[in-house]
Structure 1
């Protein structure tokens, strides 16, 4: 009998929280209240634009003062990143609408099938409301988590798990839309599967060796099957990996992108999760970012203006911890190795000898 996940009708609906209007913003008291009340929020002066070289980008349509909350985005897929999930107090609740740290290991609610020690919930309520997502991944985790970790290592397992959770979110989103007779208006910000499909990334952005390795991974573990009942072809799954690798965020306990760096330097801490955010992924990199970002206790990624942003300026973040890569050589080497482009931000261009300048890659990648 095929181990096909059962269809569960109790699901968390994927919706986009509409932007506040300008008038609403003026009466919205403080950024603290905005952050506390909104599940997903985009500042009215933040717009999407297209650059012929960089592609999609975030830009200010009007002046945005320093300290302003600019964007709050929710993860479309998120996984914990911990060394010992059984005892680690930073393990996250597996309900993607919760994501709170499970500080008391003894009180965790675990999977009845014991699929993976990394999977746990903070309450039976979170577990029950999350079962549509978890039923999709449970058999896959039980069968493949250990083999992938043993043969391919922790990083590839984490990447594969993010892919599975992306597919789970797509699966539940499709069920929700089929069962929901209400016609919901399309939102200008794509925060559902359409947003994932819009992410940059393709096989042309990676080396032949890397693409060949991922192709084998898809063939062995991520193809459509009774254990993983999605509707994508192997080539589509491979493309999704390229998109995920180009756009996933690492979650850290402190802000990324504070510039100038404080003295003495304070790094952003140890990574505890990884996630894909459909809107936040549009932010490009600068070594002198005008936005900093930090996840909150629910896994939402919050962008804040770190300096005054003038109308027409691009809104950029740093893809790495600026306290770790300080000089031009270190920054560019890290970006070439990890994100496959040569940075030509104002800081790098001003520090670089003219003969060493090169074009910015058409597809900026992010570790974040």
Structure 2
């Protein structure tokens, strides 16, 4: 049975308290419903017409990390306060961690830094002890993955009841309960990949005085499986414009990665009817790229459509990165025609 998603107040970009951005509520268009498909699992559908150009969802990241080269000098580094997430250009001045954990952690103002102290204290000792060894031994990707897990745990630590307060009539899951309900498990990934992640969890993410989260190794491993299946890269331009413009315009360089409890429910299509792009505060915004009719699934593209253009490259990328073979309308229509043999007479046989 489908679950109706009730609308909340639409966020205002000017909402700030004492110069710290006020964390905005999640916002979902009233014509969206969540349903379950026997093959795809959870999905988002339109309950009524959604015209092209309509903003349909705004989701706040439960956890977000910067993804930039040379963070100390990079102009695209984002503010570490999760209520802000705005880019913090170096030339405007940055406020760094007083414990000098890593240069990737910075705030756009002293107010943002002070307001974020309790959350950052959760990750600071872990970053100072493990960030450089992980980067040196395992590489930047695995460090980013582990740091995103630490920030998920930090948000959970600040959200002890496991979910945000919401009206009883509102069925969409937010907060930690939304993260816990995301798809992804050890069965999703190869045994080799799961063994590698298990090693990382046991070495760097165990419950300890350095990282006091209270979860078992298996639960943290499960969280990695969920994060890897659901996290978003943040890019300066839209993802999912279809058909791609000519000449092609890609979405730009990634500057952050994040996990969104509601946006992650959207499934992929190589012919999406939604485009997505983060706003200046790190919210993920979905917009209808064409009219979406009642009953139609609302889909995004999981990758830059200007990068993988033919059927083979698209399916191979999705198989490697997301562990499924795309069966969207576009992919099925581009499959080569199956050869059929029509016998007009009995074939000759060697005797």
**TM value normalised by structure 2:** 0.89
Select the residue among 99, 103, 126 that pairs with 2:112: 126
Select the residue among 145, 151, 175 that pairs with 1:159: 145
Report the alpha carbon displacement of residue 191 of structure 1 after superposing the two structures with TM.
1.7
Residue number in structure 1 paired with 2:305? 322
Contact 1:88–1:105 under 8 Å retained in 2: no
Structure 1 consecutive aligned stretches of length 4 or more whose deviation exceeds 2 Å: 33-40, 183-187, 353-356
Residue number in structure 2 paired with 1:24? none
Report the alpha carbon displacement of residue 260 of structure 1 after superposing the two structures with TM.
0.7
Report the alpha carbon displacement of residue 18 of structure 1 after superposing the two structures with TM.
6.8
Q: Is 2:54 the counterpart of 1:68? A: yes
Write the distance in 2 (CA, Å) between the matches of 1:211 and 1:354. 37
Residue number in structure 1 paired with 2:7? 19
The answer for unaligned runs of 5 or more in structure 1 is 1-16, 22-27, 357-368
Could you say if the C-alpha distance between residues 347 and 46 of structure 1 is closer, same or farther in structure 2, counting changes exceeding 3 Å? same
Could you say if the C-alpha distance between residues 35 and 113 of structure 1 is closer, same or farther in structure 2, counting changes exceeding 3 Å? closer
Write the distance in 2 (CA, Å) between the matches of 1:351 and 1:245. 28
Report the alpha carbon displacement of residue 36 of structure 1 after superposing the two structures with TM.
6.9
Select the residue among 246, 249, 273 that pairs with 2:232: 249
Report the alpha carbon displacement of residue 19 of structure 1 after superposing the two structures with TM.
1.6
Select the residue among 191, 195, 198 that pairs with 1:208: 191
Q: Is 2:211 the counterpart of 1:228? A: yes
Write the distance in 2 (CA, Å) between the matches of 1:265 and 1:205. 33
Write the distance in 1 (CA, Å) between the matches of 2:206 and 2:199. 10
Contact 2:46–2:298 under 8 Å retained in 1: yes
Report the alpha carbon displacement of residue 35 of structure 1 after superposing the two structures with TM.
7.0
Structure possessing the higher radius of gyration over alpha carbons: 2
RMSD: 2.1
Write the distance in 2 (CA, Å) between the matches of 1:282 and 1:175. 22
SS in 1 for 2:187: helix
Q: Is 2:160 the counterpart of 1:174? A: yes
Map 1:1-368 to 2 at 5 A. 19-20=7-8, 39-105=25-91, 107-174=93-160, 185-186=167-168, 187-353=170-336
Write the distance in 2 (CA, Å) between the matches of 1:169 and 1:204. 26
Write the distance in 1 (CA, Å) between the matches of 2:84 and 2:252. 22
Contact 1:247–1:281 under 8 Å retained in 2: yes
SS in 1 for 2:88: coil
Contact 1:87–1:105 under 8 Å retained in 2: no
Report the alpha carbon displacement of residue 112 of structure 1 after superposing the two structures with TM.
0.6
Report the alpha carbon displacement of residue 354 of structure 1 after superposing the two structures with TM.
5.7
Could you say if the C-alpha distance between residues 63 and 106 of structure 1 is closer, same or farther in structure 2, counting changes exceeding 3 Å? closer
Report the alpha carbon displacement of residue 125 of structure 1 after superposing the two structures with TM.
1.0
Residue number in structure 2 paired with 1:6? none
**TM value normalised by structure 1:** 0.85
Could you say if the C-alpha distance between residues 175 and 275 of structure 1 is closer, same or farther in structure 2, counting changes exceeding 3 Å? same
Cα deviations by residue, 1:136-162 (Å, 9 ceiling, x for unpaired): 000000000000000000000000000
Write the distance in 1 (CA, Å) between the matches of 2:289 and 2:92. 40
Write the distance in 1 (CA, Å) between the matches of 2:52 and 2:12. 16
Q: How many residues are matched?
A: 326
Write the distance in 2 (CA, Å) between the matches of 1:169 and 1:192. 8
Write the distance in 1 (CA, Å) between the matches of 2:333 and 2:68. 39
